[in-house]
Amino acid sequence: MATTPRAARRLDRNHILYIAVIVAVLAGAIVGLAAPGFAVGLAPIGTGFVALIKMMIAPVIFCTIVIGVGSIAKAATVGKIGGLAIGYFMVMSTFALGIGLIVGNIIHPGTGLNIAGASYHSTTEPVGAQDFILGIIPATLFSSLTGGSVLQVLLVALLTGFALQSLGAKGVPVLDAVKSLQALVFRILSMILWVAPIGAFGAIAGVVGATGWSAVVSLATLMIAFYLTCFLFIAVVLGLLLKAVTGVNIFRLIGYLGREYLLIVGTSSSEAALPRLIAKMEHAGVSKPVVGITVPTGYSFNLDGTAIYLTMASLFIANAMGKAMSIPEQIGLLAFMIIASKGAAGVTGAGLATLAGGLQTYRPDLVNGVGVIVGIDRFMSEARAVTNFTGNAVATLLLGSWTRQLDKGRLVEVLSGRLPFDEAEFGRRDDHATNPVGASSTPQDSNAAVPELTSSR
């Protein structure tokens, strides 16, 4: 009961920011349509906000990848469950990224918007393959964090993560220090997001002022296409996989998790429902070790909705700026996002920073276009969160079935409503959020990153 006021205050702040962004977007569109000459002059406001986001790319990528590599290592040490979970998450997130690219290439979001003249000022020159590869290596270990090359940051982060992994117990204090740095970085990022309404107002006003009603139509098209893609991914891809492995209808599972979906939509965060998902999966017949490993690991590495968003938003920006991505560039972006999307968990705006990081790596001339996405990013956050959450719920049932640690008879009873979830019992099991598998230290470790990510939100 003592944490309720704090949770309520956090919920209120999220709602205030959400409403402020909506108001800012509508106001920007109105100003752009009513006074296009004046609105175009507001575009630098959006550019300034993008500059703040770009400032956070390197520390966000570094911290999340370093911690992510450590988390993978811990999950893998628990044997079959951890290895199977990591393999499944990598395949599904790659598949989701690929779906985003396929849909983006079919509908060509942003085509004809032509915002290049307002925000494209690139001085970068094309480089050959040899220069590109050598350019990934930074001059010094620490210069990667200030040099502006995301691939250099990624290389150093991976090396650091694997080095900490090999140090064993000696590396724990350093890893803890990186976690503390990550908390600081995400706190700064959350502070920057409070000026998102101002940045969204300037960006939308500038774009609408320069392009007219077509900007509104293009942004709406992207949103509708994204929501439809997420729905089809849940209903078709996850639904067929769940039915084939467990025999369960995806919509029965969605009905069972109905209260959690309401919580997610209200907070725009799947992390808000993490403790309840752990408790409900155990109630549905999945063993505690499987739940304790799969759910927290999935919250960091199984971000299906975020993956779809990253690729579709990238293609939208490229088309809108009249600089469409070639197929090799799309494949390179997908490869980068497979790793970098693992750092988009748990904090509002981390996905935006990851999007900017991917563009900075492969198409730096497109980064300024992120300012346009800021205006509708919040509108798409619910679909991302719901898709991420559903993907993790399905993954838990699949892993339970594959490892023979799922009571399918109980699962049928629970989903049919004959064994309802006891909300009063859940109130006495709050410790599952931080220690879902009792005394086992390894699953506890696999969940260690979740409180830091969630509390930063």
Could you read off the pLDDT tens digit of each residue along the chain, which spans 457 residues? 444 444 444 445 656 776 787 788 788 888 888 887 888 788 788 777 777 877 777 787 788 678 766 656 555 555 677 778 888 988 888 888 888 888 888 887 776 666 554 443 333 343 444 555 676 788 777 877 777 666 677 788 888 888 887 887 888 888 889 888 888 887 887 788 788 788 878 877 877 776 667 667 777 888 888 999 999 999 999 999 999 999 999 999 999 998 888 767 655 567 667 778 888 998 999 888 888 778 877 776 777 888 888 888 888 888 887 777 778 878 877 777 776 665 454 445 566 667 777 777 777 777 777 777 766 776 677 788 889 899 999 999 999 999 888 898 999 999 988 888 876 655 554 444 333 333 333 333 333 333 333 333 3
Place of tokens 């969160």: 385
Q: Are 348 and 457 in contact (CB under 8 A)?
A: yes
Residue 268 — left, alpha, or beta (φ > 0 → left; ψ -120 to 50 → alpha)? left
> What's the pTM?
0.65
Q: Are 35 and 206 in contact (CB under 8 A)?
A: no
Q: How many Cβ atoms are within 10 Å of 130's Cβ, its own excluded?
A: 8
User: How many whole angstroms separate alpha carbon 229 and alpha carbon 309?
Assistant: 10
Through-space distance between the first and last CA atoms of the chain, rounded to whole angstroms: 20
The dihedral sign for the CA sequence 434, 435, 436, 440:
positive
Q: Are 211 and 115 in contact (CB under 8 A)?
A: yes
Determine the pLDDT at residue 49. 76
| DSSP 8-state assignment for residue 133 | H
User: How many whole angstroms separate alpha carbon 250 and alpha carbon 241?
Assistant: 9
User: How many whole angstroms separate alpha carbon 389 and alpha carbon 395?
Assistant: 10
Token pair in block for residue 287: 């063993």
424 CA to centre of own chain = 32
Strands (E), 305-435: none
The three-class DSSP label of residue 440 is coil
User: How many whole angstroms separate alpha carbon 16 and alpha carbon 378?
Assistant: 12
372 CA to centre of own chain = 18
- 285-304 as b/e, with b when 16 or more CB fall inside 10 Å? bbbbbbbbbbbbbbbbbbbb
User: How many whole angstroms separate alpha carbon 318 and alpha carbon 322?
Assistant: 6
The three-class DSSP label of residue 286 is strand
| DSSP 8-state assignment for residue 110 | T
Determine the pLDDT at residue 244. 94
- Could you read off the pLDDT of 280-293 as tens digits, one per residue? 998 999 888 888 77
User: How many whole angstroms separate alpha carbon 421 and alpha carbon 7?
Assistant: 23
| DSSP 8-state assignment for residue 448 | T
**What does the DSSP assignment read for 153-192?**
HHHHHHHHHHHHHHHGGGGHHHHHHHHHHHHHHHHHHHHH
Strands (E), 40-190: none
Tell which residue, 338, 328, 446, 402, has the closest CA to residue 72. Answer: 446
Q: Does domain 20-455 have CATH number 1.10.357?
A: no
